[in-house]
Amino acid sequence: MHILQHTSLISRHDRQFNALVGNATRVECPALKTATGALPAVMEIPNFAATLKAGEFRAVDVARDQVEIEVALFWLCRLMEPAFQTSSPIVFAGESLEEGYWL
């Protein structure tokens, strides 16, 4: 089994980790395409949402105060559908979201 170890919070020498995934080998994975860098932090949400396309892969930073909980510096996610705004107030994952919230 090969993993890309991107954080020191998980050790490939950890017995519990090895029991779950087997003996891991640290490898470097080349990018499939050249990274274009992060989008500007001042981009308006609707403009950013317009850049999100179904089927794309995006890396999402984990907030620094959440790294120990999430056990990662970022999540790699595949977008299943374009971004959209809620048409009415909803509760998602125990959090109340108002109408117009971007998902």
State whether 49 and 72 are in the same domain. Answer: yes
State whether 50 and 72 are in the same domain. Answer: yes
* Residue 88 backbone phi and psi in degrees, to 5: -160, 165
**Per-residue pLDDT, 14:** 63
State whether 96 and 52 are in the same domain. Answer: yes
**Per-residue pLDDT, 1:** 38
Kindly report whether the global pTM for this prediction surpasses the value 0.85.
no
Q: Residue 103 and residue 85: Cα distance in Å, rounded? A: 6
Token pair 């909980």 is found at 69
From the first residue on, what is the mean pLDDT of each consecutive set of 10 residues in the chain (103 residues)?
43 64 68 61 80 87 80 84 91 89 89
State whether 19 and 47 are in the same domain. Answer: no
**Per-residue pLDDT, 7:** 43
Q: Within 10 Å of residue 23's Cβ, how many Cβ atoms?
A: 9
Distances (CA, A) of 35 to 57, 76, 79, 82: 12, 14, 17, 21
State whether 26 and 49 are in the same domain. Answer: no
* Full residue range of the structural domain in which residue 50 is found: 42-103
Domain count, the chain: 2
Q: Residue 70 and residue 87: Cα distance in Å, rounded? A: 30
